[in-house]
Amino acid sequence: MTNLVAVDNKSHLNTKVDLSKVEQHGADLQLVPVVLSEFINLAVQYPIVLTKNGNTGQFVFSVMLGFEPCENLFWQQEQWQGLYVPLQIRRQPFFIAPSNQQENDNRHNNELTVCLNTESPSLSNDTGEALFDVCGQESKYFHEVKELLSQLLIGEKENNLLLKSLTLMDLIQPMSLDITFVNQSTTKLTGLYTIDQDKLGSLSNEQLITLHEMGLLPSIYTMIASLGQVHALIDLKNKRLN
């Protein structure tokens, strides 16, 4: 359940966020959208893939956390057992939305507001990090939350840049995984896409220089390298099955 309200220091003066419960938001996610700036951190544990948004059909960078809908193999004993937790999870229960434009002021048209999901299990009035101090000043914690949100906003732009180049140079290919687990059960994963390494290898010098100048090459190679983590993921699944 999601119910977003704008954060302000009157209604939320006493609101606290229990950090130990924030990661619950990812407990049953098989795929989590990610941004370029966190690729390096993610690749240490998760396969970074492309999937298609069900509503728009457009590509989304995601980390794969399981092999079936609602399966997050990193969620164990009510905790996220990973070295790095994606921004999309850590920013919970906060979102960014366009400001309400009740006042007819054009200057405010492009302004964004930080919102809070009032249905989040991490909210509390007693325990956790406060958003404001007693005087209504933003806490260090809330400041960090805003940093995360702005990292996601910038990340969105960088993602689009990479996606546009990958599409233009025809570097995306579908990826099909046929996996047999330790108990002999099998699964066939479709709807996943990755970098076409043959095409990447046959790019012209000109194209390569373009990718280099745009600073996109590290992300592309990080995506490729991260695919090895599929084996680690299978391993996690096998352990769960045993």
| Residue 52 in contact with another protein, rule: CB under 8 A | yes
Window of 39-47, 56-64, 92-100, 113-121 that interacts with another protein by CB under 8 A? 56-64
Cβ proximity to another protein, 48 vs 192, nearer residue: 192
Cβ proximity to another protein, 175 vs 234, nearer residue: 175
| Residue 203 in contact with another protein, rule: CB under 8 A | no
Residue 166 CB, shortest distance to another protein, in Å, is 10
DSSP track, 43-62:
HTTS-EEEEE-TTT--EEEE
Cβ proximity to another protein, 156 vs 170, nearer residue: 170
Window of 55-63, 150-158, 177-185, 227-235 that interacts with another protein by CB under 8 A? 55-63
Residue 197's nearest CA partner among 161, 171, 216 is: 171
Q: Which of 56, 106, 110, 137 binds another protein (CB under 8 A)?
A: 56
Q: Which of 40, 123, 169, 172 binds another protein (CB under 8 A)?
A: 172
Question: Would you call 122 helix, strand, or coil by DSSP?
Answer: coil
Burial letters for 77-108: b for 16+ Cβ neighbours within 10 Å, e otherwise? eeebebebbbbbbbbbbbbeeeeeeeeeeeee
Question: Would you call 10 helix, strand, or coil by DSSP?
Answer: coil
| Residue 57 in contact with another protein, rule: CB under 8 A | yes
Residue 86's nearest CA partner among 32, 122, 40 is: 32
Q: How many residues does the chain have?
A: 242
Amino acid in position 26: G
Residue 53 CB, shortest distance to another protein, in Å, is 8
Instruction: Name the DSSP letter for residue 78.
Output: T
| Residue 176 in contact with another protein, rule: CB under 8 A | no
Degrees to nearest 5, angle at CA 136 with 135 and 140: 105
Cβ proximity to another protein, 95 vs 193, nearer residue: 193
| Residue 167 in contact with another protein, rule: CB under 8 A | yes
Residue 184, phi-psi category: left (phi > 0), alpha (psi -120 to 50), beta (remainder): left
- Residues forming contacts to another protein in the complex (CB under 8 A) are 52-59, 167, 170, 172-174, 191, 193
